[in-house]
Amino acid sequence: MSNIIIDGKEIAMRFREGLKEEIAELTAAGMTPGLAVVLVGEDPASQVYVASKVKACAELGMFSQKFALPKETTQEELVALIQQLNADDKIHGILVQSPPPKHIDEEAVILNIDPRKDVDGFHPINVAKLVLEDESGFVPCTPLGCMELLKAYGIETAGKHAVVIGRSLIVGKPMAHLLMSKKANATVTVAHSRTKDLPALCRRADIIVAAVGRPEMVKADYIKPGAVVLDVGINRITDETRPRGYRIVGDVDFNDVKDHCSAITPVPGGVGPMTIALLLANTVKACRQILAASKG
Ligand code: NAD
């Protein structure tokens, strides 16, 4: 069985090169795409994500601003910052790094982001646009990245049975909508923590998208021979042989599964790099739409 290891790093790099030209054009037209990244508290993983988002903007000639707020920041203070960013002409995308400290109501914060700048695609207006297949909206970056990987490798989705494991607002649900859209035309089953006999369900899938957050849960007996497997999971497991004492694995047991499928994303280096690339793409899209609206 031809067995493709999907190279997310390579595809993300090519995707970012494509964006560079668009960013240069927008800059020449007087509007450099700008992203504001807001971090509340000192969660180490969030700090790493925020730093890589800011760095990626700089590499492509985009403007970015990082707001690192102390963990005691109140809901009101955070909302006040969001409103200031909504009104800021240099900012076209606003992202509040998840998860915020427990005293912050994340949903209420998201409601305050101008939907035109909601590049994470979490605002109810953008969720509705995804369901309505209105392409002016913003779709969460990770599932968008998964779709780009399928496209880059010429993997057909029309008429295929896709099983999405996980029903989160950030990955599972938007992924299911993208796959069932009139553009992709897959038949989609969404599995979750209460799904019965997940291995049997997955064995009926041509495409599996795993977004669970359980290290190496998907094993070879979940896989129909020749299926395509996209692994969204990012899990830390203890590994004393590594200098940091841990390593990152996906939700799929890569070594167990890889010889049974036709294509698979590794972790790291699969879906992960696409997430940032699509965040940049969403910010460029927001900038383009705001520029077009300003011209009436
Ligand atoms: P989440 O915790 O919000 O959702 C997990 C989903 O898995 C839930 O819907 C739950 O019902 C389902 N689930 C839990 N146990 C299950 C089981 N035994 N069988 C079937 N379904 C089960 O998580 P999330 O935010 O969607 O993230 C999922 C994973 O993807 C995590 O590892 C996260 O770190 C990773 N992630 C990666 C990226 C990326 O850029 N690659 C982006 C977002 C999330």
Of 106, 163, 170, 171, the one to substitute when testing ligand 1's pocket (max ligand atoms within 8 A of C-beta) is 171
What spacing in Å lies between the alpha carbon of 176 and ligand 1's midpoint? 14
Would you state the pLDDT for residue 53? Answer: 95
71: annotated active-site residue: no
289: annotated active-site residue: no
**CB burial class (10 A; 0-12, 13-18, 19+) of residue 127?**
buried
Q: What is the pLDDT of residues 88-107, one digit of tens each?
A: 999 999 999 999 999 999 99
Q: For domain 141-272, which architecture applies?
A: 3-Layer(aba) Sandwich (3.40)
- Point out the catalytic residue in the list 7, 114, 118, 120: 120
Which segments of the chain belong to CATH 3.40.50.10860?
A: 30-115
Q: What is the pLDDT of residues 29-61, one digit of tens each?
A: 999 999 999 999 999 889 999 999 999 999 999
Average per-residue pLDDT for the chain: 97
Q: What is the CATH number assigned to the segment(s) 30-115? A: 3.40.50.10860
Which segments of the chain belong to CATH 3.40.50.720?
A: 141-272
Reported pTM:
0.97
Alpha carbon distances (Å) from 273 to 38, 202, 224, 247:
20, 25, 27, 17
Of 46, 163, 212, the one to substitute when testing ligand 1's pocket (max ligand atoms within 8 A of C-beta) is 212
